[in-house]
């Protein structure tokens, strides 16, 4: 069942709220004109106490941070959203994703990365908010506050990500199957009593049929046989510094025009090998969601 709005949370006085948020953003580096470090997800595994979590759909969108005036990428660059797109957004920070529908990531990234936004393209985009960067409230209270803010904004371009309860692992897996069958990427679990804090933790868990991760392209390896003269594999580097080859999952077009050296790519895999590298890794896409301009 969707969560109801019966719980009422007493809002802090405006001045005090502003001070708390300002201190938080300064502590996380936002005073320098860049977004703070954001909460990131670990991977769900059976045995997690689901009574502690709410579940939502995992949107295959572009992660953004709204500072009350500007949309920022995770890398600290401004998105050139049209003024009308953000005009009714609250004048306080919000955490969420730009999204235009299931299976449309490549199209979306092409729209939002442009230095000069195209109004007609941005009409298809929405800012789906899933958290409120306030360090003094547990998530269940932050979510109630988000409901109030989104309702008060009355913007067609601002949408609250719906959170639901889930009773068991079997129910979670059934919901995952339904979501994927409908074209979705997966689910997200958010611990109801968690605080807003940067970095990866079990407060946020992604639930997917396949694991995925990101790596940086460090070399193009030539193909052989039917791929002679084309890309054979990418040599990629993980955050840990370890490298491996990514040789499957490419379209013919991607083998003719492979991701550039230095590009971030997303790959799918199934567990780890005995040496700790991704098993059965397959290229998924280039993670080209940073704005074209660097400020």
pLDDT one-digit tens code per residue, 29-71: 343 356 778 999 999 988 999 999 999 999 989 999 999 999 9
Give dist(CA 72, CA 83) in Å, integer. Answer: 14
CATH 3.30.470.30 domain span(s) along the chain: 39-207
Q: pLDDT band for 285, please (50, 70, 90 cuts).
A: confident
pLDDT at 283 over 70: yes
What pLDDT shows up at residue 279? 86
**Measuring CA to CA, how many Å separate 123 from each of 65, 109, 184?**
19, 14, 21
pLDDT at 10 over 60: no
Q: Are 244 and 217 in contact, with CB atoms under 8 Å apart?
A: no
CATH 2.40.50.140 domain span(s) along the chain: 211-286
Q: Are 98 and 127 in contact, with CB atoms under 8 Å apart?
A: yes
**CATH number, domain 39-207:** 3.30.470.30
Domain 211-286 grouped into CATH 2.40.50.140: yes
pLDDT at 293 over 70: no
Give dist(CA 147, CA 34) in Å, integer. Answer: 26
Q: Are 250 and 258 in contact, with CB atoms under 8 Å apart?
A: yes
What pLDDT shows up at residue 243? 95
Mean pLDDT of the chain: 86
Give the model confidence (pLDDT) of 97-152 as tens digits.
Answer: 999 999 898 899 999 999 999 999 999 999 999 999 998 999 999 999 999 999 99
Positions marked catalytic: 58
- State the average pLDDT over residues 268-272: 83
Q: pLDDT band for 292, please (50, 70, 90 cuts).
A: low
Whole-model pTM: value is 0.73
């Amino acid at each position: 069942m969707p969560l109801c709005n019966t719980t009422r949370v007493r809002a802090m006085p405006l001045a005090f709220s502003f001070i708390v948020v300002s201190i938080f953003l300064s502590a996380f580096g936002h005073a320098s004109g860049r977004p703070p470090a954001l909460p990131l997800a670990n991977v769900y595994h059976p045995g997690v106490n689901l009574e502690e979590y709410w579940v939502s759909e995992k949107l295959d969108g572009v992660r953004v941070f709204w500072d009350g005036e500007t949309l920022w990428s995770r890398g600290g660059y401004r998105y050139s959203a049209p003024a009308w797109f953000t005009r009714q957004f609250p004048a306080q920070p919000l955490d969420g994703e730009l999204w235009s529908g299931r299976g449309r990531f490549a199209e979306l990234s092409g729209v939002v990365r442009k230095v000069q936004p195209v109004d007609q393209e941005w009409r298809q985009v929405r800012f789906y908010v899933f958290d409120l960067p306030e360090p003094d409230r547990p998530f269940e209270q932050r979510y109630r506050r988000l409901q109030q803010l989104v309702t008060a904004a009355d913007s067609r371009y601002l949408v609250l990500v719906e959170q639901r309860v889930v009773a068991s692992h079997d129910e979670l897996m059934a919901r995952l199957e339904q979501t994927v069958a409908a074209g979705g990427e997966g689910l997200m679990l958010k611990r109801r009593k968690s605080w807003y804090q940067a970095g990866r933790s079990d407060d946020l868990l992604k639930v997917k049929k396949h694991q995925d991760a990101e790596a940086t392209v460090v070399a193009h390896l030539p193909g052989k046989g039917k791929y002679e003269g084309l890309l054979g594999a990418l040599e990629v580097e993980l955050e840990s510094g370890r490298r491996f080859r990514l040789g499957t999952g490419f379209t013919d077009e991607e083998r003719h025009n492979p991701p550039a050296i230095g590009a971030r790519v997303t790959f799918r895999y199934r567990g780890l090998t005995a040496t700790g590298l991704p098993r059965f890794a397959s290229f998924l896409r280039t993670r080209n969601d940073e704005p074209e301009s660097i400020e």
